[in-house]
Amino acid sequence: MSKDVFQAIADPTRRQIIDLLAGQSLPVNDVAEKFDMSRPAVSKHLKILNECGLVIIKQQGRKRFCRADTRKLQDVMEWTQRYRKFWNEKLDTLEVLLNDIDETSS
């Protein structure tokens, strides 16, 4: 069963891993060195990111290389767009209300 992208990015360490791998492919050990936690802990994070499709892991010789595949983040962007529209409308309404209050108190 694949993991949910939203669950994967809920963890700050996994978001940092995605950021780290967004512009480069790195061996698992190099990724683990960037974090103040054990290599097995980083490997668990990478496994979750791999299961939801945010990180691709490929074996090259004796090393496993990781790279980010951010296409799945499109789901997150589409979901947040709905709320951006909602809040923009609410904030526009609030601005009009505050301007009306400001005009009547002047």
d(CA 58, CA 55): 10
pLDDT category at 4 given cuts 50, 70, 90 is: confident
pLDDT for the residue 105: 81
> What tokens does 9 get?
């990015």
pLDDT in tens, 12-56: 999 999 999 998 999 999 999 999 999 999 999 999 999 999 999
Helix, strand, or coil here: 81?
helix
pLDDT for the residue 2: 60
pTM, 2 dp: 0.76
Spatial CA neighbour of 6 closest among 56, 77, 55? 77
Q: Burial-class residue 75 by CB neighbours within 10 Å (0-12, 13-18, 19+).
A: middle
State the CB neighbour count (10 A cutoff) for residue 102.
9
